[in-house]
Chain A
Amino acid sequence: MCRLHKSLYGLKQAPRAWYTRLSDFLLSIGFRASKVDTSLFILSDGTNIFYLLVYLDDILLTGSNSAMLHHLIQLLSSEFKLRDLGVVHYFLGIEVQSTGMGLMLCQHKYILDILTRAGMTSCKPVDTPVSPSIVILLPDHSFSDTTRFRQIVGALQYLTFTHPDICFAVNRVCQFMHAPTDSHWAAVKRILRYLKGTTSYDFHITTGSSFALHGCTDVDWAGSIDDRKSTGGHLIFFVRR
C-alpha cells in the first residue's frame, strides 16, 4: 500500500482537493465565499466589487475596476498555471455574446450535436415542442433502446439553460426516464424536430439601471392523466421597475 503526498488527476478525491486548494488561495487574497452559492467568491473593498465563479477548472472573473481585475488575474497566474481567455464567449458549452443591450446566450453547436446523435439532422421542423396528438401516457410498447432515450433526454435537459421554451416539453418526457415507451420516444422526436427549426435562436439577457424581482407562478391542475397530479411552473424576472 502506498500513501500519496498529493492528489492525482482522476482520483475520486481530486475535485475536492482542487476546490480546497483554490478556495484557500482565494480566501487568502481577500475573497469571501458566498453563503448561498458554494462556487461563488466575492471580493469587495468598499468602492469596487469583484465576482469569481468556479466550475472545476473553468473560472469566470468579473468586476467593477479593470485595472484591479488585471491585477487579480496576475495574482492568480502567479499561483496557478492559467490561460486568460479574455472576454467570455464560451463557458460550459454555452456560447456567450455581448450585445449593446446585455448578453446573448446560445448552444447552437450543442443542438447540432444532439440532432446528429439522434440521427435527426434532416428531419422536418415543427413550430411547437409538444404535439397535441401524441398522448404520451397510455401504456404501449416499451421503447427498445432505453439507454439512447436517457442519453438524448439528459442532453436536452442541459439545453433548457438557453431554451426555456422547451422546459415544459423536456420535463414531461423526463418523467418517464425509468420506463420509456414508443410514444415517449415520439414526444422526444417532436422536441428534436422543434429544435431543428429553432437551432439558431438565441436567449437574451438585457441590462438596465434599477432592478426588482418579479415572479409568475402557474399550474395545470390535475393535468397528469394517470395520477391526476398537477404540473406547476414558475419564472422569475429581474427587471427594471
Chain B
Amino acid sequence: MISWKSGKQRTVARSSTEAEYKALADGTTEVIWLQYLLTDLQVPSVSAPTIWCDNLGATYLSANPIFHARTKHVEVDYHFVSDRVAKKEIQICFVPSRDQLADVFTKLLPVASFTAFRFKLRVDPPLSA
C-alpha cells in the first residue's frame, strides 16, 4: 500500500451513490497523480489502474453518466471520473462491501474486523513476537 486518506466530504450528499461518486473522484485524482509520478520515475505502466467501489450506482454512473432526478444535481467537476473511464485511463469495478478494504478509513469498526483490516494494511506486530 502506498497511499491512503480519510476525510470528511465538503458537501452534503443526497444519496449514498452521490457520496460514493465523490469519493471515487477523490481516489481517481490520487491515482492519476501516482501515474504521473510513475511515468516520471520511468516505471513502465502495465495497464489501466482499477479502482474498486462498493456502490453499484456509482459504478454505473462512472461508466454511463445518465442524468435523472437523483443524479443531475451532482456537481460537474465530479464527472471527470466518467471522462477518464471513457478514455480507458482507469477502470471502475464493483466490489461487495464485505471485501471492501477502504472501510477502515471511513467508519468505526468492531475489534475483529478492525484487526483483520489492520493485517491487510500490513501494519503488523514485530516478527520476533
- A residues adjacent to B (C-beta < 8 A): 34-37, 40, 42, 44, 49, 51, 127-128, 130, 132, 162-165, 167-168, 171, 175, 198, 200-206, 210-224, 227-238, 241
Contacts and interface: CB of A to CB of B under 8 A. Distances in A.
A216 B104 contact: no
The majority secondary structure among interface residues of chain B is mixed
Contact of B8 (A40, A198, A214, A230): A230
B114 to A, nearest CB: 5
5 contacts: A132-B108, A168-B104, A216-B52, A216-B101, A241-B47
A233 B12 contact: no
A6 B1 CA distance: 43
Nearest to A224: B8
B45 to A, nearest CB: 8
Contacts of A34: 37, 40
B54 A218 contact: yes
B125 A200 contact: yes
Contacts of B76: none
Interface residues of B, number: 67
Given A232-B7, A236-B27, A201 B126 contact: yes
A68 to B, nearest CB: 16
A205 B122 CA distance: 8
Contacts of B95: 216
B102 interface: yes
Given A213-B34, A213-B49, A217-B23, A167 B105 contact: yes
Given A36-B37, A36-B40, A171-B6, A210 B46 contact: yes
Given A215-B51, A217-B27, A164 B121 contact: yes
B124 A218 contact: no
Given A217-B23, A218-B105, A229-B11, A37 B46 contact: no
A219 B41 contact: no
B69 interface: no
